[in-house]
Amino acid sequence: MTDRKITKPRPISGFPEWLPEVRRVEQQWMDHIRRVFESYGYASIETPAVEELDIIGAKGADVDKEIYVLERLHKEDGDKEARLALHFDQTVPLARYVAQHFNDLVFPFKRYQMQKVWRGERPQAGRFREFYQCDIDVINVDALPLHFDAEMPAVMWEILSSLPGMENEKIQIRVSNRKILMGVLSEFSIPDISQAIGMIDKFEKNGAEWVFKELKIAYGDYLTDYNITEIVNILKNGPLAINNPHNEIVEEGLCDLTFVMDQLKHLPEGSVVADLSIVRGLDYYTGTVYETVFLDDPGYGSICSGGRYDDLAGNYINKHLPGVGISIGLSRLFDRLRQQNKLPIGRMTPTDVLVVLPSEERRPLAQQRAHMLRQSGLNVEVFHSDAKLKRQLAYAERKGIPFVWFPPFEDDKPDEVKNMTTGMQGEADAKTWKPDA
């Protein structure tokens, strides 16, 4: 080994990787999320890691720079394949999927997707370039009933409030309807509404005064101070601050939001609230929008967001396909709790029972005991060598294996099992023994 060049590998910035005991909790999270998604009838789909660059790029210039494109290392000359790129979200792939498989799907199409997505950002602390996203969306043809807009936060509240380690976090899902602000703004015929939306999106972060000032600088020719005050008051105080109904769009937005909130009354007070300052930046939403924050750290940003879009797959198919969806940025949330030592990190193996190897001759006996215990649904391994008992127990202890099984060291002796947590040890029958008996 002395003539080798040893290069200790380093982590790649932005690509998280967990030790087995942390990965175990991540699996519990994903199992939990999947269980709740399915309990509401969402079906799993997976799309490839890549899409054609033309499809991914279609969303607009602002995401271009975050895209990873693929290149074959030894590309042959004359390759005429479309360029492929890693997906940066699961919404663009969903749109493509629904259009491509339209005739094989039954609508409303309720799907969930839990996959990694990639953002080709510059490496910087705390920014993930690869992370899991867990999305649900409902897509329908022509019209999509509004009560799905209420189902989204209900599902997510159920998940977020019961993820292992999240039980004591104070989170809040905030709901708004874009039509309200868009309607108000449309009254004033200001140019470039999206710029105004961008400013309003920073309300939580920069405060009312900042928004007032920015709107005044940008739109002083179109908005009076009275107008701007009204807008800022809407962000602060909600619908009551709307001075007059303005127009049908505003009315519609208010009506939709009221309907959605009415459907969520059964949730604990403060879990889901209406908040007109939620606009979701420059996204493609057209109605309901969601964000979710830690109440004691709102500056951390949204951990679960989404909204309603009018026409998901309009570039691919001549159908009107409205949808509504919401997404957990799983890896970022998970890593936050990990860094705060809030995850219930336990053993580093799924093994429930370690079967001691009394001697090489008794290996068949040990294997047979392992087999019997597996029949009861337990995860079991046999220690790999007939090392001293102390070493075998130390292995169980280091890996956090909760039970150690002792096959008889001599004939005509009984089996025994030791609870590694309590230290209790007693006779047991591998055919019938259960951990909690």
Which of 298-324 are b and which e, b meaning 16 or more Cβ less than 10 Å from the residue's Cβ? eeeebbbbbbbbeebbeebeeeebbbb
Q: Which of the residues 174 through 213 are near its own copies (CB under 8 A)? A: none
Q: For its own copies, which residue of 188, 284, 294, 316 counts as binding (CB under 8 A)?
A: 316
Q: What is the DSSP letter of 417?
A: E
* Cβ proximity of 343 and 164 under 8 Å: yes
Going by DSSP bridges, is the β-strand pair 130-139/109-118 parallel, antiparallel, or unpaired? antiparallel
CB of 272 to its own copies, least distance (A): 15
Smallest distance from its own copies to CB 410, Å? 22
Task: Pick one of 39, 237, 258, 419: the residue that binds its own copies (CB under 8 A).
Answer: 39
Among 208, 218, 241, 348, binds its own copies (CB under 8 A): 348
CB of 57 to its own copies, least distance (A): 8
Give me the count of residues in the chain: 437
Q: What type of residue sits at position 34?
A: R
Q: How many residues bind its own copies (CB under 8 A)?
A: 97
Which is nearer to its own copies, 245 or 350 (by Cβ)?
350
What would the x/- binding string for its own copies be over residues 237 to 256, using CB under 8 A?
Answer: --------------------
SS3 98: helix
Decide if residue 27 touches its own copies (CB under 8 A): yes
Site string for its own copies, 88-127 (x = CB under 8 A): --------xx-xxx--xxx-x-xx----x-x-x-xx----
310 interacts with its own copies by CB under 8 A:
no
CA distances from residue 372 to 22, 226, 379, 410, 427 in whole angstroms, order as listed? 29, 78, 11, 19, 16
Rounded least distance, CB 210 to its own copies, Å: 29
Task: Name which of 103 and 189 has its Cβ closer to its own copies.
Answer: 103
Are 176 and 289 within 8 A, CB to CB? yes
What the block records as the tokens of 169 is 């976090």
**Binding residue for its own copies (CB under 8 A) from 32, 213, 336, 399?**
399
221 near its own copies, rule: CB under 8 A:
no
* Contact with its own copies (CB under 8 A) among 162, 359, 385, 425: 385
Q: Is 295 in the site for its own copies (CB under 8 A)?
A: no
3-class DSSP string for 103-170 = HHCCCCEEEEEEEEEECCCCCCCCCCCEEEEEEEEEECCCCCCCHHHHHHHHHHHHHHCCCCCCCCCC
Q: Does 381 bind its own copies (CB under 8 A)?
A: yes
Q: Which of 186, 124, 136, 110 is nearest to 34 (CA)?
A: 136
- Residues 76-95 contacting its own copies, CB under 8 A: 76, 81-82, 84-86
Q: Measured between alpha carbons, how far is residue 331 from residues 126, 131, 261, 306, 351 in Å?
A: 11, 5, 29, 17, 25
The two three-digit tokens of residue 10, written as one number: 């380093």
CB of 13 to its own copies, least distance (A): 8
Instruction: Kindly tell me which residue out of 40, 188, 212, 284 binds its own copies, with binding defined by CB under 8 A.
Output: 40
Residue from 170, 205, 398, 434 in contact with its own copies (CB under 8 A): 398
